[in-house]
Structure 1
Amino acid sequence: MIGDSVRLKTAALLALLGLLTMLAGIGQLTFWAPAETVTASVPSDTKAAPLTVIDQKLIALHEGPVKIKIQGEGNFTVATGRPDDVNAWVGKTAHNTLTGVSQDQKSLEVSTADGDATAPSPAGSDLWVNTEDGSGELDYTWNPPAGGDWSLLVASDGTKPAPSTISMTFPNNATTPWAVPLIVLGIILLLVAAALPFIAKFLGNRRKDGDNGTGGNGGSGVDEGTTALPVQPAADDAAARPTERPATQRPGIRRPGKGAEGSALRISAIAAALVTALVGGTAVAAQASPAPADGSNSPSPSASGGKGGQPVMLESQLQRILEQVASTVDAADAAKDAAKLAPRVDKMELQVRTANYKIRTAVSAYEPRMPVRATKLQSSVISTKRDWPRTVYALTQGDGNVVPQVLTLVQLSPRENYKLWGTAPLQPGTNFPSFPVPRDGTTPVAADDKTGLAYSGNEALGILGEMLTTPDSPNRSKLADGQSSPYIAGALAYQADTVKNGTSANFKFAHTPVTNQTVVLRTADGGGLVVGRLDFSFEGTPKAAGDKLVLEDDSAVFAGGKETTTGMSLNFAESVAVYIPPAGSSDPMKLVAATRGLVGASFK
């Protein structure tokens, strides 16, 4: 009777523990489950500033999409950019930076930097991968546009305060790792509780069978083949022994821990200790807070920023920039209005197109410059040089482009947009060099640096200029095809014809590199592509007094007349691209692209 009572109590205890354990596991998945998201807001007493930056660490604090709600007066813009780009654009302007989340997960931590009270509007800047515009209120879901680190810039027009009512909703990182184990453990305890009476009874029967005999021969207690002799204790021994066994050794009463009831008690004690430990641990897990606000548990940021880091733009940015450049040039070409070029064209290309418009206004038959197209981007070369100026090449083709042309785009400073510095059509029979894929970018090389190259950029353009000037240049073997190159051959033929036809004049020709417009980017094979400008000029002077020099109609537009007896000078701008092989290579350089345009003429 006593044994049955103990077994039933133990089974009941295990069943209760099993139910409680299951309840703890189910609770973690239901009523004890942490919230799926946490929302933190900018404190209401935050000082107003024209710009607000949402720091990269805050954006990457939690995995998964981040929802941002922004409220402000009037129109505003949210721009996405690399952290170093955002910081460079902000510059010395006063701004607030949202850096993290408070310990209670309710407030966004804000750092304030004093500085200039206004800034240009960030809308339309080439630095941004994309922008979102809002008016009054904007619900914005953040998803990274590509790998690496990103920051957000929030601003109105740069003169008014940026929206200050900002809240961010993050996925909650709290987890319930013990929920399923607790449910499983509870089921096991219930099964053990249900089976315990049968197990205990079985063990008890085994115990009784063992008490009825000490061996396997019918309970004789004597091994077969031996004779048991009674041994009578000596009188002294009998007197020395206790007259009865200790209570714990009395027949019919077992030690605690032996037999079915003892086994049951041990099982229940162990189960109770285990459940207590698990429930205590899971209570802590259920209340676990998201990753700390300092971002120590956030994914490691990839390298971005600094020289040799991420490419200066994504291909989607380049495509957008090219479309804007092409649209600007189209409008200016159609109107023959150089003022329309200013937002997107500079340096040589601005000079050449301005001159072209002037000539075409006076000489209707004069050929326009090759149009700039963005419809077919055949190749792009994006630099990893993250300080300024930044340079990008694009090989494009479209309507009006008989051959693809190399476009050189340069951004002088963070708050300026990329501008077209030069265009040069690909030479017939020439392939554009291979470059690392745009997502990896390529490293720039200083124009006077020949490290890893057969020639520096300046040396390459100097050799080209010499070949264009002197037909029998001793360096002609350093450039593939020498004088048979279409452009080189054409330039030399033009100069020879001028001399032949100008029998009454002496002529002097020069092709001089403009070193401050030379850019070199490394190719995939370790070589480089140098793109730059040569100033091509030639002077003519009469051989004898009274001899006349007669200019063509296009040159006369700049000179103010067609004839002179004192001398004249013509000036052309040449846009060229030359491939430089890597150091140690026996291959010659190759003229990849070239063109020229008349930019001036004058009488002496």
Structure 2
Amino acid sequence: MRFLFAIGVFAVAAVLLGVGVVQKVFFAGDEYTTLTTTVETNAPYMVIDGKTLTMHGTNPIITVSGSKTAFVGFGRSEDVTGWIGSDDYDVLKYSTKKSDFVFGEGTAKNVEPTEVETPALTEQEILTPEGSDLWLGEASGKTTATLPTFLDSDMSAIIAADGKADAPGTVTIAWPLPSRVPFATGFIIGGGVAALIGLVLYLWALRHDRNSQGPRRRGKLPKPPKPRAIRMPTPKSLVSAAPKGRRGITRGSSFVALGLAGVLTLGLSSCSPYNSGQNVAEPTPTATESVEIDGHPPAVTERQLQRILSRISQTVTDADAALDPALSGTRLIGPAQEIRAANYAIRKADSSVAALPKLAASPITFTMPQATANWPRQVIAVVQNENDPSVPTMGLMMIQNSPRENYHVEYMVTLEPNAQVPTVAPANVGSALVAPDSKLLLISPDQLSAAYGSVLTQGEASPYFGLFDLTADSLVAQVGKAYKDQKQAAVSERASLEFSQNAGSGAPLALATMDSGAIVTVSLNEIETVRPTQAGASVSPEGQAKILSGVSSSTTGVESTYGMELAFYVPPLGSTDKIRLLGYTQGLISARGL
């Protein structure tokens, strides 16, 4: 009976597999609608517009070849033309009237930059689009590159070789088609599962059958009153030792069944979907629609921001491990880079000094991109990992100065525990840029750094004291007037301690909130100058200042500069609210003997 069950399950498996394979082989039809063309390119870049790419769906697979190296990426059309700028490029379109591709030259377009002062970067000629933060997806390879995409008609694809040679001219666009036999895969999977179940039942029946063939114990009956032995007849085996006929089962049968199940299981892999072989993320089924405000899209999409932050996090992590300021400088600028580079220098001299908090890439809990089609572009993001308390909640202000430069983190602040951010525009809409000298806020962004510095130095005597809500401001408690007075009193008998301030290297950056206020990031440098007051006396720097300056004692004095990265919420003009500190990072950036 057990063998009958196993045979029945195998029969069901054979039927299911047969139906599935027949459907796949004879009734599935084409899996893709494909268009292929080969053109003779005359420029280092070629662009395919979104209308062509979305002719038969929003998830085409683009394959390019025809050069020693091949690259293909896709992004918003204005970003593609912005990256190309004034360089020559070709355009490939598909004409439904001609039922063929149309090839021609593109028109160069220069993007006017927005007037925003940002730290200068090392000028270098960037020729290849590979690795740009503008792309929503990209692929590269030797001679051939294949890229699955998710896009809409407002996006375009850019094709290149190395930025010097002409772009590869053989292009294939394949659109996946809906399956004509949607249940074929289910039949095959069901058949494979049934075959495995049948194998288990078969092995179970075989084991039971073999166990039943062994000798059985026979106990002795109690002796009857008469001394005559009673013999029991020898039981016959249910299955003979040497079975014959159609139902005979040999020892090799289990291996045959096992091989049959393996063949049926491996048959599933032959019906797997198309795989391009490229190490790329799977695209979403459909492109996400974005809402634009006043004709300006957000600087980045949420998916794009995740990709950018992953790259930045990896670069900074590698730089932290190698204590390499040149590497961190490829993704950090301004005050964020100054504080980290100084920490590297200190840790090289003294490995016991703690490292700065690492920059995590996810999860992104807050996204505030600028709504713009021009450059520079700004994005504010918050990364908060509640499952790892060792990583503080970080607020990042990133900026992309030009189309061919990647995003750089200019401000990296640890958020205050009770920081409350007002309502901002949705991430798929974007926020407006607030000018540094705007008069529509309680204080203009370019005056905010000096005003807060005055509060840190003068306390209640500062003319700006009443503008700030200091009830939850932990930075004032750490380095405010009370701290400074205490520190000055501690050295007053043998030295003088002076505090001064100047604007940091970071530009004031501001994005508008929904209540007409703004989130503003600024930098501030605070300088401590210690001089001996007695003839022949000397002063000795302590801690990190001693390590960074390399001075053990000085008869003329020591100057230490601490950089501060600050993020505020600034209410609109006329509001009864006050300016709130949302987060900050401070650290020693320089120390020297006078």
Residue 379 of structure 2 is aligned to residue 427 of structure 1: no
Which AA in structure 2 matches 1:370? Answer: P
- Does the 8 Å CA contact 1:566/1:603 hold for their aligned counterparts? yes
Which AA in structure 2 matches 1:330? Answer: T
Q: CA 1:140/1:355 → structure 2, altered by over 3 Å: closer, same or farther?
A: closer
Residue 574 of structure 2 is aligned to residue 567 of structure 1: no
C-alpha distance in 2, partners of 1:465/1:527? 21
Other-structure match for 2:470: 481
C-alpha distance in 2, partners of 1:592/1:547? 43
Q: Greater share of helix residues, 1 or 2?
A: 1
Other-structure match for 1:198: none
C-alpha distance in 2, partners of 1:350/1:468? 24
C-alpha distance in 1, partners of 2:389/2:527? 28
- Pick one of 148, 158, 172 that aligns with 1:153: 158
Deviation at 1:66, TM superposition (A): 5.1
Q: CA 1:136/1:560 → structure 2, altered by over 3 Å: closer, same or farther?
A: closer
Deviation at 1:591, TM superposition (A): 0.6
Other-structure match for 1:587: 577
Deviation at 1:99, TM superposition (A): 4.3
- Does the 8 Å CA contact 1:97/1:110 hold for their aligned counterparts? yes
C-alpha distance in 2, partners of 1:389/1:326? 21
- Pick one of 444, 459, 466 that aligns with 1:456: 444
Deviation string, structure 1 residues 316-335 (Cα, Å, up to 9, x no partner): 11112112222222222222
C-alpha distance in 1, partners of 2:469/2:349? 40
Other-structure match for 1:78: 72
C-alpha distance in 2, partners of 1:353/1:303? 36
Deviation at 1:467, TM superposition (A): 0.5
Matches within 5 A, 1:102-501: 103-112=97-106, 120-133=127-140, 135-137=142-144, 143-144=150-151, 149-166=154-171, 309-398=296-385, 399=388, 401=390, 403-451=392-440, 453-471=441-459, 472-481=461-470, 485-492=473-480, 493-501=482-490
- Does the 8 Å CA contact 1:149/1:304 hold for their aligned counterparts? no
Deviation at 1:142, TM superposition (A): 5.1
Deviation string, structure 1 residues 139-197 (Cα, Å, up to 9, x no partner): 666541xx67111101122222211123557899xxxxxxxxxxxxxxxxxxxxxxxxx
Deviation string, structure 1 residues 459-486 (Cα, Å, up to 9, x no partner): 322221111121221321210026x621
Deviation string, structure 1 residues 16-70 (Cα, Å, up to 9, x no partner): xxxxxxxxxxxxxxxxxxxx999766574x4432110112444456766656553
Other-structure match for 1:521: 511
Other-structure match for 1:190: none
C-alpha distance in 2, partners of 1:432/1:303? 23
Other-structure match for 2:82: 88
Deviation at 1:91, TM superposition (A): 1.9
Other-structure match for 1:261: none
C-alpha distance in 2, partners of 1:429/1:305? 32
SS in 2 for 1:444: coil
Q: CA 1:583/1:59 → structure 2, altered by over 3 Å: closer, same or farther?
A: farther
Which AA in structure 1 matches 2:538? Answer: K
C-alpha distance in 1, partners of 2:43/2:592? 54
Other-structure match for 2:197: none
Matches within 5 A, 1:538-549: 538-549=528-539
- Does the 8 Å CA contact 2:526/2:562 hold for their aligned counterparts? yes
* RMSD, matched Cα: 3.2
Other-structure match for 1:274: none
Deviation string, structure 1 residues 103-146 (Cα, Å, up to 9, x no partner): 3222324225699xx962212110101113455456666541xx
Which AA in structure 2 matches 1:337? Answer: D
Deviation at 1:580, TM superposition (A): 0.6
Q: CA 1:307/1:159 → structure 2, altered by over 3 Å: closer, same or farther?
A: farther
C-alpha distance in 2, partners of 1:71/1:377? 37
- Does the 8 Å CA contact 2:47/2:159 hold for their aligned counterparts? yes
Other-structure match for 1:280: none
Other-structure match for 1:203: none
Q: CA 1:367/1:140 → structure 2, altered by over 3 Å: closer, same or farther?
A: closer
C-alpha distance in 2, partners of 1:599/1:139? 46
C-alpha distance in 1, partners of 2:74/2:479? 47
Deviation at 1:519, TM superposition (A): 0.5
Which AA in structure 2 matches 1:344? Answer: R
Identical pairs, percent: 29
Deviation string, structure 1 residues 452-508 (Cα, Å, up to 9, x no partner): x222212322221111121221321210026x6211121124422320111122222
Which AA in structure 2 matches 1:54? Answer: I
- Does the 8 Å CA contact 1:507/1:539 hold for their aligned counterparts? yes
C-alpha distance in 2, partners of 1:480/1:123? 46
C-alpha distance in 2, partners of 1:376/1:327? 15
Which AA in structure 2 matches 1:81? Answer: G
SS in 1 for 2:469: coil
- Identify unmatched segments of 5+ residues in structure 2: 1-30, 110-124, 178-288
TM (norm. structure 2) is 0.66
C-alpha distance in 1, partners of 2:555/2:295? 57
C-alpha distance in 2, partners of 1:48/1:351? 44
C-alpha distance in 2, partners of 1:367/1:392? 29
SS in 2 for 1:470: helix
TM (norm. structure 1) is 0.65
SS in 2 for 1:506: strand
Deviation at 1:86, TM superposition (A): 0.7
Deviation at 1:367, TM superposition (A): 2.4
C-alpha distance in 2, partners of 1:422/1:344? 11
- Does the 8 Å CA contact 1:40/1:101 hold for their aligned counterparts? no
Q: CA 1:109/1:365 → structure 2, altered by over 3 Å: closer, same or farther?
A: closer
SS in 2 for 1:421: strand
SS in 2 for 1:89: helix
Q: CA 1:463/1:409 → structure 2, altered by over 3 Å: closer, same or farther?
A: same
C-alpha distance in 1, partners of 2:291/2:389? 39
SS in 2 for 1:549: coil
Q: CA 1:132/1:510 → structure 2, altered by over 3 Å: closer, same or farther?
A: same
Deviation string, structure 1 residues 195-244 (Cα, Å, up to 9, x no partner): xxxxxxxxxxxxxxxxxxxxxxxxxxxxxxxxxxxxxxxxxxxxxxxxxx
Q: Radius of gyration: which is bigger?
A: 1
Which AA in structure 1 matches 2:99? Answer: Q
Which AA in structure 2 matches 1:158? Answer: G
C-alpha distance in 2, partners of 1:148/1:486? 49
- Does the 8 Å CA contact 1:450/1:457 hold for their aligned counterparts? no
Other-structure match for 2:247: none
SS in 2 for 1:340: helix
Q: CA 1:140/1:105 → structure 2, altered by over 3 Å: closer, same or farther?
A: farther
- Does the 8 Å CA contact 2:381/2:396 hold for their aligned counterparts? yes
Q: CA 1:139/1:517 → structure 2, altered by over 3 Å: closer, same or farther?
A: closer
